[in-house]
């Protein structure tokens, strides 16, 4: 009996940042983290300050529980653009996962206010309760 193999994944030009963003986002949404990082790294070599690509890389590290790497990247992204609610939320979630509740709470609160997203508001409540334990 022949062994059934998955199809070979063919990525478009991985060095094109726009294409890399789309492919990496799709891979991350399917939790294909290793493949997403393989797509992101060549594009980030071309555009190391690309906010979108760096955000996806931080998301990948968050999923892989490489929380120190994610935190450093997210802190730099917040410094570069303090109005990015999603990045603030992810920084808060990263700090929460590191049990740094006092540090997480300001970022989660700002993300909740800036976005109005119920998930962000629930995160604030969760961290407030965890902090009180």
pLDDT digits (tens, 9 = 90+) for 8-60: 454 555 567 888 999 999 999 999 999 999 999 999 999 999 999 999 999 99
**DSSP label at 116?**
-
Alpha helix stretches (DSSP H) within 12-66: 17-29, 33-46, 51-63
Predicted model pTM: 0.85
Question: Do residues 9 and 35 make contact, with C-beta atoms less than 8 angstroms apart?
Answer: yes
Cα 13 from Cα 72, distance rounded (Å): 28
pLDDT digits (tens, 9 = 90+) for 46-86: 999 999 999 999 999 999 999 999 999 999 999 999 999 99
């Amino acid at each position: 009996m022949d062994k059934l193999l998955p199809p070979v994944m063919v990525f478009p030009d991985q060095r094109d940042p726009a294409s890399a963003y789309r492919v990496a986002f799709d891979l991350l949404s399917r939790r294909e983290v290793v493949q997403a990082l393989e797509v992101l790294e060549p594009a980030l070599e071309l555009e190391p300050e690309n906010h979108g690509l760096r955000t996806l890389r931080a998301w990948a590290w968050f999923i892989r529980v490489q929380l120190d790497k994610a935190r450093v990247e997210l802190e730099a992204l917040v410094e570069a653009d303090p109005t990015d609610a999603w990045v603030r939320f992810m920084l808060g979630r990263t700090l929460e996962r590191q049990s740094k509740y006092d540090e997480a709470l300001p970022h989660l609160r700002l993300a909740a206010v800036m976005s109005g997203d119920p998930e962000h508001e629930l995160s604030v409540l969760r961290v407030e309760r965890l902090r009180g334990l």
